Each structure stands twice: as structure tokens, then as C-alpha cells.
């Protein structure tokens, strides 16, 4: 039902009246009830305040003491709603010394019934914690906000059956207790907010190693994984050491504790968590090697390990004042992990992936009812801050800042940022201040990127005068109104630009009619920027926003001939990739009307189809990775996500298949020749090898799309040297419905029966290609690893379902989605809310799909009492649909 939740606003921030400076936390981990006792040194920040409020959720308060005495001047407020939120109001007006005192709280919570995977909960047989953003309140009553930084000592007691007892910092004591119990005590000398607290108890395979820092300190490294998976965490260990070395070399940042630990668990909502000294990972982003994970997942393992490790400084040592400042740590750290991947793997491929994520997901968020700036202004649930806008667009804003001031000044700014704010909780403005002061740049207008939502649209226009041999060039920007903000201002943009002749030459050092040299990086903060090129012998094609130098949508009328020229001749690989995609998108527009009227109509292509793809395949082996990225864009899902109009997804999926069949029919011999020329090497973690394997996978799919070349599939199955090739086999069989080879799907399932993350790859393919909801339910019933209470299972199901347009957009497909949301929300609001973000894209689809989506949305809003997380997403979307 439609509920009105309290709106939290950034500008309403108020400092705490009282804060914690030291915490002694005792956890007795037992089933079903875990007992918690905390001793907190509380300090008054506002001498006139006579009370304070602590947060709790689904706790049972046993006792409360102040300075060792039982204290009864408190009120426990139970908030309305299904989430179980509590406020513990403590009155200290009668306390003689209020400037500093000791608060002791004893409470308990039910470990077994906590299925939200927030606070401390069970992941199979492992006790594990997740406290960001507001999970610590599920453990004990506390100041559950990021601006309360305290030094933690954690004492854990558990039965001997839990071999390892882990927490933040350094181990200072351990030993045996009575009745088959034991203990471990950890001390973290660095003050931290409670969202960085971590606790783990369980049995693991452990991989030990060490890293010697640049100052000569030896840091012990420990990785913990489910028993039997030891060989699958060796790759992760190497990734940790690469990350530590890179952060020393690029950012001059050294690790600060004696030990760095990482634990992988099966039940985890997020990808990973940067708890100080004890990172906790979803096993899908920690466990894997060449035999059980594809290249893309190993790349993700590498980058996510880097991301969480980099948080040690950008997030842990310097954290956020409040959750509205989340991009302070996340945007910056995403930028840092992207740079790590660019430096250690391949910069162009990395840039393509980053830009694609923004164009595919974040641009859509900007035009939806969920639009918000990278530093949001209001929210109902703090958990709903974790978005592509805050993370990925936040990283692009940091990258734009880096582009404007340069690497040297950026590093000066980082050093000043740490010098000023180490050990503090600060704001986005504090970060920009450090960058401005260190670089000398005036960044006052740049700050608008933090407060303004939406995607800037840059229109590029040009006209050529053959008589005067001049060419007028104009860039104009506008940010369309968003649901949260109607009025927009021009932003600071930096567009990397070059100019291409008709015969493919890139011209540089061009001058304007006023005698100025046109810079490669065009920077402007006004609504428009124009100039006139002088002494131009012919009309030049403007190729702009190279390497996605600004997170904007370019609106430019390029002909197929110009796109073909860029694709063939641009010296910038990102520009080549983008030109191919623009042309590919144009094929959908060209065929949309005909395929809507007749699903079996023949695909129409223009005269440049042959030229563009002939050029691509002629040079395919020069950079297999780029070729693979171009071909991997060939999917209806990516095309639809990048469009700025409503479409029929079922029609687009038909066009998608028709284009791929056309490519195969036109270039079959060349595709086969390229496929056969690709070497089948022993696996190595190298960009060149990634590219070869990715291209082999894309080509195998094309070569078998009409049911031909089946011998290639069986041959690759027999010769495969890694999981990536095994996945190429089952993808071709499942996606192209190669009935005679379906035995290979069964073989894959048997080979990986002990590897749930590997089986999820097959499960996604089966769901994606199912013919009905009923068939999907049959597939799930036969999948041994599937558990609706497990986030990875839900993500797998949704990945396959969302890609299956024929089933998903049918009436019973959307009803199936509704039932899933209701079931999942009862236990795990964070995952349910994540699924509900789909509804915000209702206006991307034509009727009857839009109507079906809105019908299900209205049903959820009007007839179900859901969690605060889920309700916020649904009601914002529902209200927008009524406007």
C-alpha cells in the first residue's frame, strides 16, 4: 500500500550531541540468540545537550548502565512498519559528569531469523557481518552513522566448531574457554565508523602469503574460502599483491595494519565490503580461476579486490560525514580501481567498458523517476543510495576533474586531502577544496556536477564554406529536466576532439579565423562554444568526446559514410568502437517499422553495411579485444538501453537476430578464417589473450547462428584450455538452440556440480532461452545451487529473465516478477529494491508492454505492505507514472 515515509534531506544534517570514542564489543555467537555486551566511551560534543539517541533494529534490550550503574532514564521507541527499526532515547540530565562517561549495553538478537543479510547473520554455516549502510544497529544500540568514529576492541566467543574467529585490526589474544568454546580478541587502532565493523566465524580453507611494503614492513595476507576451494583463491591473492603495489606506486599509499584479511561467503547482498583490515566478499567476486571462471569474472575479481583494498585510504582512513556524501568514497575509489585496471590490463578496453556502463545504465537512471545527483539531496532509505549515479557517474566526475587539472595536480590534491582529513568524516566539498587549493584551479563552477542531476546533451553542428575554405563548428549543451530537478545550468565540460578528412587523415594544430590553435581538449562552461576553422581545404568530420572525456550524450548527425570513415581510419580506438555502435544502432531504426508490421520480413541494410563490416573483419586480428567489444555490443538489450526513445523490446530482439544472421550470411568465409586463425593458447592473465578468447566466443556464436558449423562447437569443447572456452560452447548451444548438441549442456552441469558460481553461468543461459514461465520454474527446480534466499541466485534469475524478452514482457512474465518481489522483500529488502528499479524504465517501452508494467507496479504499490527500501523505489516510480 502507498505509505508516506520520512524523507531524509542532506541540508538537514546536524552534528551529534554525543559521540563514541572507544568501543569494547563482546559477542557471544550462539544459536538462535547471540548475546552482545558493549562498553562505549561517550564524549559530549554539545555541552548543553542532556540526551542522545541510539539506533537499533530487531534487538532485545537486556540492560543499560552509565558509569557502572544501572540506568533507567531511557525510552525505547519502536517505529512503525515491517522493518523493526528502534530508537533508544537516553536521558543523561541527572548525570553529574556529562562531558565523558561510560555507557554499557547488553542485548541479544536472533541470528537464525536474520535473512536480510544485514548486521550479523548466517551464510550457510558461516557467521558473517555486513554493516554498510545501517546494519550495525542490528547488532547493538549505537550511533549508527558515519560521522561517529571510534577505536574498536572486539572480543568474540564461539563454539570450537567455528575454527576461525575474525574481526577488524590486529589479533591481540585468543584461547580456550569452558564447555567447548573459544575466543579471539581483535584491536583496531584506527578510529572508524560502525559501518566498517566486521565479524566472521567459521571453517575455511586458508591461503597465507605476505607483502613487503615500500617502507620495508611485512604485512601478513590471509584469504579465507569455503573448504575445498583453496586452488580457486590463488588468483585473488595475486590480485591483492598487485593492488597493494599499484597503490604505492601510483598514489604513494601504503597499507597500515600488520595483517590484511579477505573472506568469501556465499550469501552476501553486495559484491564486497571494505571493512578495515577484514574485507568480506561475495564468493562470486573472490573465488575463481581459469578452470571455473570466465575472463570477465576474473577481471571483476581483480578490479573488485583492488576497489575494496583502495578503500583502506579512500573510505576507511577518510570517510563520509553522512550518507549523502557517499560518492566521496565510492566515486573516488571506482575511479582508482578503473585506473588500476587500465594500467595493469588495457586502457582502451577499460574505457570502453566504463563508458558502456554509463551509457547503458546510468543515462537511463538520469531520465527515470529515480534520477538524482551524484551527491543526492534527499532519500527515504539510506540503502537506496547505492546506484550507478553515485558510483559510476561519480567516478566519471572524478575523471573529468583529473582531466581538467592533470595527473600531477591531482596527486598533489590527494596528498593535501589526506593531510587535512586523515581520521575524519568529511564532505564532497572538502575533497574539491583540497583539489582546488593544491592545483590552483578555480573549481567553483565544476562543483555543479555534484548537485545537478541529469545527462548533459551536447549538440555538435558544423557548416563548411568552400569559397572561403572555412568551417564553422559549434558545441551547445543542455541538460533536460529530470524528475527531481526542473531547472538546469550549463556544466563544465571537457571534450577531447579531433578532425578527420574524407580520406581518413586526422588533422592537428588547426587554427581559427582569429589565429588561435584549436586545442585537442575543448573545455567550456557556457551553454555554447563556437569557433571557425581557417584554411580548411575540405569539410572535416568532427570526432568528439574521445575516450568518453565527459559523461555526456553527443547529438551529432553523422552520415553512414562519415561513420564508415571514422570506423576505418580514426587513430582513436574508442572512436572506432563508438562509430561501429552508432552504425549498428542505425540498422534498428532502419528496420523498426517493417519488423513491427511483419516479424518475418527480410532485413534491410544500406550501402555502407558491406564496407563497414568488411573493414572490421579485415583488421579483426590486429586488436582482437576491440573487435570482440564491437561484436559484443550487438545485442538488443544494449541498444535499447542506449536509446533515448520508447521501443518494442520484442521487435528489437527480432531485429537483433536478423542482423546477426545477415552478418554471418554475408561474411561466413571471413568469419571462419578469423576463427581458425585465433590461437588456442594456454591460459594467461593478459589483455592480448583476453581479446583472443573473447573474439573466439563472439565468432562461434555468429558461425552457428543458423545451425551450421556444429563441428566447431564440439572441437572447442574437446580442446578448451579454460572456462572461457567452455562457456563459449554452452552459449552457442543454448543461444542458437543447437538441439543435437544439448548433451554438452548436461556435460557442463556434471563437470561443475561442485562449483555453484560456474553453474550460475549455465542457469542464466537456460532461463534466457526458456519458452515460458513454467519452463523457467522447471529449470530452477532442477538447479541444485538455486536458493531464492541467496542473492546470487536472485541475480542469476533476473539476469536470464530480463534478457528473455518474449517471456519477461508477457502478462504472466511480469506477474512472475511481482510474486518474486513480494517473496524476496519479506526477508531481504535490499535485493527486492534492486529488482524494483526495473519499473523506473517503464517509459522506455511502447504499448502493450508499458501498460503491463504499470499494471504490476500499481498492484505492488496499492495492495502490498513492503519494506521501506522497496516502497521508496516503487512509490517514486508510481507517482511519476501518474503525472
String of DSSP letters for 758-771:
HHHHHHHHHHHT-S
Q: Which of 308, 330, 380, 582 is catalytic?
A: 308
**Residue 360 main-chain phi, psi, to 5 deg:** -80, -40
CA–CA distance, 132 with 198 (Å, rounded to integer): 10
Which residue, among 707, 652, 683, 665, has the nearest Cα to 696 in the 3D structure?
Answer: 683
Cis? peptide before 484, omega within 30° of 0: no
Cα separation, 835 vs 873, in Å, equals 10
What is the distance, to the nearest Å, from the Cα of residue 401 to the centroid of all Cα atoms in its chain?
21
Q: List phi, psi (to 5°) of 170.
A: -110, 140
- Alpha carbon distance 529, 532 (integer Å): 11
Give the closest residue to 476 by CA, choosing from 522, 535, 541.
Answer: 522
Cite the DSSP H helix spans in 116-262.
234-251
Q: Which among 60, 75, 146, 71 is positioned nearest to 101, based on CA atoms?
A: 71
Distances (CA, A) of 469 to 505, 536, 544: 18, 5, 22
Burial of 631 from C-beta contacts in 10 A (0-12 / 13-18 / 19+): buried
Which residues lie below 8 Å from residue 149, measured CB to CB, with a gap of 6+?
19, 191, 192, 193, 319, 423, 424, 425
The answer to whether 240 touches 309, Cβ cutoff 8 Å, is: yes
Q: Is 248 a catalytic residue?
A: no
Cα(747)–Cα(768) distance, integer angstroms? 19
Burial 338-352 (b: 16+ CB within 10 A, else e): bbbbeebbbbbbbbb
Strand partners, 42: 20, 101
Burial class (CB in 10 A: 0-12, 13-18, 19+), 133: buried
Angstrom CA distances, 592 to 479, 572, 586, 604, stand at: 28, 31, 10, 10
Q: Is the dihedral of CA 679, 684, 687, 693 positive or negative?
A: positive
Cα–Cα distance between 106 and 100 in angstroms, integer?
20
Which amino acids are annotated catalytic? 308
Amino acid at each position: 500500500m502507498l505509505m508516506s515515509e520520512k524523507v531524509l534531506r542532506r541540508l538537514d544534517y546536524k552534528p551529534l550531541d554525543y559521540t563514541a570514542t572507544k568501543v569494547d564489543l563482546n559477542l557471544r555467537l550462539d544459536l538462535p540468540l547471540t548475546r552482545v555486551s558493549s562498553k562505549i566511551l561517550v564524549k559530549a560534543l554539545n555541552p548543553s545537550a542532556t540526551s542522545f539517541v541510539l539506533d537499533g533494529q530487531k534487538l532485545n534490550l537486556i540492560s543499560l548502565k552509565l558509569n557502572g550503574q544501572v540506568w533507567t532514564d531511557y525510552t525505547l521507541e519502536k517505529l512503525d512498519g515491517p522493518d523493526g527499526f528502534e530508537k533508544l532515547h537516553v536521558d543523561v540530565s541527572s548525570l553529574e559528569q556529562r562531558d565523558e562517561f561510560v555507557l554499557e549495553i547488553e542485548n541479544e538478537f536472533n541470528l537464525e531469523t536474520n535473512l536480510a543479510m544485514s548486521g550479523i547473520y548466517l551464510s550457510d554455516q558461516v557467521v558473517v557481518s555486513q554493516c554498510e549502510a545501517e546494519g550495525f544497529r542490528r547488532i547493538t544500540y549505537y550511533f549508527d552513522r558515519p560521522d561517529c568514529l571510534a577505536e574498536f576492541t572486539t572480543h568474540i566467543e564461539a563454539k570450537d566448531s567455528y575454527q576461525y574467529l575474525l574481526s577488524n585490526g590486529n589479533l591481540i589474544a585468543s584461547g580456550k574457554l569452558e564447555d567447548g568454546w573459544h575466543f579471539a580478541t581483535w584491536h583496531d587502532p584506527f578510529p572508524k565508523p560502525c559501518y566498517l565493523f566486521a565479524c566472521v566465524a567459521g571453517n575455511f580453507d586458508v591461503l597465507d602469503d605476505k607483502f613487503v611494503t615500500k617502507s620495508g614492513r611485512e604485512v601478513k595476507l590471509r584469504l579465507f574460502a569455503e573448504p575445498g576451494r583453496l586452488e580457486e583463491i590463488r588468483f585473488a591473492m595475486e590480485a591483492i599483491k598487485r593492488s597493494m603495489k599499484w597503490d604505492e606506486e601510483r598514489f604513494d599509499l601504503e597499507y597500515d595494519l600488520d595483517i590484511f584479511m579477505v573472506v568469501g561467503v556465499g550469501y552476501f547482498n553486495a559484491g564486497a565490503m571494505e571493512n578495515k583490515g577484514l574485507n568480506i566478499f561475495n564468493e562470486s567476486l573472490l573465488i575463481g580461476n581459469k578452470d571455473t571462471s570466465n575472463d570477465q569474472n576474473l577481471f571483476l575479481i581483480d578490479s573488485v579486490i583492488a576497489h575494496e583494498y583502495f578503500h583502506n585510504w579512500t573510505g576507511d582512513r577518510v570517510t563520509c560525514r553522512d550518507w549523502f556524501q557517499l560518492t566521496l568514497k565510492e566515486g573516488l575509489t571506482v575511479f582508482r580501481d578503473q585506473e588500476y585496471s587500465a594500467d595493469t590490463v588495457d586502457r582502451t578496453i577499460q574505457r570502453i567498458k566504463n563508458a558502456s556502463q554509463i551509457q547503458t545504465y546510468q543515462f537511463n537512471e538520469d531520465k527515470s523517476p529515480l534520477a538524482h545527483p551524484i551527491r543526492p539531496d534527499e532519500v527515504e532509505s539510506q540503502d537506496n543510495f547505492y546506484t550507478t549515479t553515485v558510483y559510476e557517474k561519480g567516478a566519471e566526475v572524478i575523471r573529468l576533474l583529473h582531466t581538467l587539472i592533470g595527473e600531477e595536480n591531482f596527486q598533489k590534491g590527494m596528498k593535501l586531502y589526506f593531510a587535512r582529513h586523515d581520521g575524519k568524516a568529511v564532505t564532497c566539498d572538502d575533497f574539491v577544496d583540497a583539489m582546488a587549493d593544491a592545483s590552483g584551479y578555480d573549481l567553483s563552477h565544476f562543483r555543479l556536477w555534484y548537485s545537478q542531476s541529469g545527462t548533459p546533451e551536447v549538440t555538435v553542428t558544423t557548416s563548411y564554406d568552400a569559397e572561403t575554405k572555412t568551417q564553422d563548428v559549434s558545441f551547445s549543451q543542455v541538460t533536460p529536466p529530470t524528475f527531481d530537478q526542473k531547472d538546469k545550468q550549463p556544466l563544465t565540460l571537457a571534450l577531447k576532439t579531433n578532425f578527420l578528412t574524407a580520406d581518413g587523415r586526422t588533422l592537428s594544430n588547426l587554427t581559427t579565423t582569429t589565429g588561435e590553435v584549436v586545442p585537442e581538449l575543448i573545455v567550456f562552461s557556457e551553454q555554447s562554444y563556437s569557433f571557425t576553422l581557417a584554411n580548411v581545404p575540405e569539410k572535416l568530420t568532427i570526432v568528439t568526446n574521445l575516450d568518453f572525456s565527459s559523461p555526456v550524450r553527443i547529438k551529432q548527425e553523422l552520415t553512414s559514410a562519415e561513420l564508415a570513415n571514422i570506423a576505418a581510419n580514426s587513430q582513436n580506438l574508442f572512436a572506432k568502437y563508438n562509430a561501429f555502435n552508432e552504425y549498428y544502432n542505425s540498422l534498428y531504426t532502419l528496420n523498426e517499422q517493417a519488423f513491427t508490421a511483419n516479424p518475418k520480413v527480410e532485413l534491410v541494410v544500406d550501402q555502407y553495411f558491406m564496407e563497414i563490416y568488411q573493414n572490421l573483419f579485415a583488421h579483426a586480428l590486429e586488436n582482437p579485444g576491440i573487435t570482440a567489444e564491437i561484436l559484443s555490443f550487438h545485442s538488443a538489450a544494449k541498444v535499447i538501453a542506449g536509446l533515448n526513445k520508447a521501443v518494442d523490446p520484442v521487435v528489437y530482439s527480432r531485429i537483433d537476430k536478423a542482423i546477426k544472421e545477415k552478418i554471418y550470411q554475408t561474411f561466413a568465409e571471413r568469419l571462419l578464417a578469423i576463427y581458425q586463425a585465433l590461437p588456442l593458447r594456454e591460459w594467461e592473465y593478459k589483455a592480448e589473450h583476453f581479446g583472443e578468447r573473447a573474439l573466439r566466443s563472439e565468432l562461434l556464436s555468429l558461425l552457428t547462428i543458423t545451425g551450421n558449423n556444429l563441428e566447431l562447437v564440439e572441437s572447442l569443447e574437446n580442446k578448451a584450455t579454460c572456462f572461457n572456452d567452455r562457456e563459449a560452447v554452452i552459449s552457442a548451444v543454448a543461444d542458437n538452440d543447437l538441439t543435437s548438441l544439448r548433451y554438452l549442456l548436461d556435460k557442463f552441469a556434471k563437470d561443475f556440480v561442485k562449483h555453484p558460481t560456474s553453474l550460475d553461468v549455465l542457469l542464466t543461459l537456460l532461463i534466457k532461452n526458456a519458452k515460458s514461465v513454467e519452463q523457467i520454474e522447471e529449470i530452477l527446480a532442477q538447479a541444485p545451487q538455486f536458493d531464492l534466499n541467496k542473492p546470487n541466485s536472485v541475480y542469476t534469475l533476473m539476469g536470464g529473465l530480463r534478457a528473455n524478452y518474449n517471456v519477461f514482457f508477457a502478462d504472466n512474465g511480469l506477474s512472475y516478477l511481482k510474486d518474486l518481489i513480494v517473496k524476496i522483500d519479506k526477508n531481504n529488502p535490499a535485493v527486492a529494491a534492486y529488482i524494483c528499479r526495473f519499473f523506473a524504465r517503464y517509459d522506455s517501452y511502447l504499448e502493450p508492454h508499458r501498460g503491463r508494467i504499470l499494471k504490476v507496479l500499481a498492484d505492488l504499490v496499492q495492495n502490498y505492505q513492503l519494506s521501506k527500501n522497496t516502497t521508496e523505489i516503487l512509490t517514486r516510480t508510481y507517482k511519476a507514472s501518474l503525472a
